[in-house]
Amino acid sequence: MLTTAFEMLALAFVVAIPVWIFGGPVWALWSAVLVLAVFSLRIVWKVRRLEHWLSQPDWRSEMPWKGVWGEIVQRIQRQLRQNDKQLTTSEQQLQYFLQAIQASPNGVTLLDTEGRIEWCNATASSHLGLDAKRDVKQHIVHLLRDPVFSKYFAQDFHDTEVIIDGRTTSLTQSPKLSIQLHAYGDGQHMLLSRDITLVTLADAMRRDFVANVSHEIRTPLTVLSGFVETMLSIPMPEREQHRYLELMSVQAERMQSLVADLLTLSQLEGSLPPGTHETVDLPELMHQVQTDAVALSAVLAGQQGQLVYEGMDGHQDQGEGQGQDGEVRGPVHHLVFEACPPWALLGVRSEILSAISNLVSNAVRYTPPNGTVRVSWTQAADLTVFSVTDTGPGIAPEHLPRLSERFYRVDRSRSRETGGTGLGLAIAKHVAQRHGGELRIQSQVGQGSTFMLCFPASRIELLSD
């Protein structure tokens, strides 16, 4: 602009000198004023064109000017390009930031100074039952109608979190949320929500586990200590002593079974998943399971009575024995072991045997005398299924989701009678998961139950001849 002013004065001076010589000072002054006026009008016209150009949406178009005006346009365009680049970068960073918050497993809700919602991510919408568009500018207390949260929100300080119930459509499970307010900006607040349902369940399971283990061990220890004290303090005949020793042996075996199952669970949870380098001969394994099931059925009946079962080859075997006082017992259980295909399962034999034996022994324990227990291996779609079906009392639907929890029992008194530890289904579930499968349970009260171990078909191979 300074150059333009010098140019204008120089032009006026150049015009005024000849006029001064030929027309005198007055005409020289008027000629200089005229030159300045024309030059000024030209500047005003260019400024107006520049203003019009700046008002256009496309400021990238070239201006047909040279000299100082072209330089002005270039500098403006350069500055606008820098501003546009900075704006684009800022928008990208904002989008990345919003995407990161949207992907967060924690709920984020931004509140203004009055506690009204300004923005929330999808997790917060799910946790608190909010609508990211509809509920904008709504007060959070009016939407989150929880007395615990209302009291917490009204506090002056929010140094700690508060636990409330989350929104759910389930009638059986109520999610737990950890809520905490954080102040930021000029009086605004950020409401963070975190789903702690699994943490709460894990903590409850830990407490139940410790309590159950303590109870399961304390009961046989109490019996043992009582018998020992009785035998030490009261003289009794040898026959009575032998009876007490048998009862003590039963309680000792019960504790040994409990400790063994606890160690098995600990090993399953602490070891790496099994590979495919080891193969399990299923027909041979099922023969051992069948033998153990027959023996368990006789033990539960209190004698080596008459057992009727169908072997792996399909024929029936039976054996007779006498119970106490020489009484001949009738059939105890009808055990049906369908012929096992010539398959080998890729996995750890000890784990597979433990899982299958637990399912079969549970079926035998909970099936009443003269009931039927059917065991089979089948293949459906991409799964290989081991199933145990019994004609026991069945299980109510509300118990099914929790059956594989440690020490969970539908009928505790019945479990005491049959000698179960309450860990069999937990072991079976862990074994199935470690081998890429799952434990499935189907049951109906009064009609029996079916327990299935579903393994991927990729873990099954044909046995070589």
Q: What is the pLDDT of residues 291-312, one digit of tens each?
A: 888 888 877 766 434 444 445 4
- pLDDT the model gives residue 237: 87
Pair 123, 101: CB distance under 8 Å: no
Least confident segment among 134-138, 148-152, 178-182, 242-246: 242-246
* Same fold for the pair 104-195 and 274-321+329-465: no
Least confident segment among 56-70, 113-127, 153-167, 232-246: 56-70
Mean of pLDDT values over 256-270: 77
Summarised one tens digit per residue, pLDDT across range 219-254 is 788 888 888 888 888 888 888 888 888 888 878 877
DSSP collapsed to 3 states, the chain: CHHHHHHHHHHHHHHHHHHHHHHCHHHHHHHHHHHHHHHHHHHHHHHHHHHHHHCCCCCCCCCCCCHHHHHHHHHHHHHHHHHHHHHHHHHHHHHHHHHHHHHCCCEEEEECCCCEEEEECHHHHHHHCCCCCCCCCCEHHHHCCCHHHHHHHCCCCCCCCEEEECCCCCCCCCCEEEEEEEEECCCEEEEEEEECHHHHHHHHHHHHHHHHHHHHHHHHHHHHHHHHHHHHHCCCCHHHHHHHHHHHHHHHHHHHHHHHHHHHHHHHHHCCCCCCCCEEEHHHHHHHHHHHHHHHHHHHHCCCCCEEEECCCCCEEEECCECHHHCECCCCEEEEECCCCCEEEECCHHHHHHHHHHHHHHHHHHCCCCEEEEEEEEEECCEEEEEEEECCCCCCHHHHHHCCCCCCCCCHHHHHHHCCCCCHHHHHHHHHHHCCCEEEEEEECCCEEEEEEEEEHHHEEECCC
Residue boundaries of the structural domains of the chain: 2-99, 104-195, 201-271, 274-321+329-465
- pLDDT the model gives residue 314: 44
- pLDDT the model gives residue 75: 77
Which residue did the predictor score with more confidence, 137 or 74?
137
- pLDDT the model gives residue 288: 92
The CATH classification of domain 104-195, taken from the options 3.30.450.20, 3.40.50.150, 3.40.50.300, 3.40.50.720: 3.30.450.20
**Fold of domain 201-271:** Helix Hairpins (1.10.287)
Second-level CATH architecture of 274-321+329-465: 2-Layer Sandwich (3.30)
Q: What is the pLDDT confidence band of residue 181, given thresholds at 50, 70 and 90?
A: very high
Q: Which long-range contacts (CB under 8 A, 24 or more apart) does 129-136 make?
A: 129/167
Closest to 112 measured CA to CA, from 134, 137, 94: 137
- pLDDT the model gives residue 65: 60
Q: Which pTM was predicted?
A: 0.54
- pLDDT the model gives residue 324: 39
- pLDDT the model gives residue 310: 46
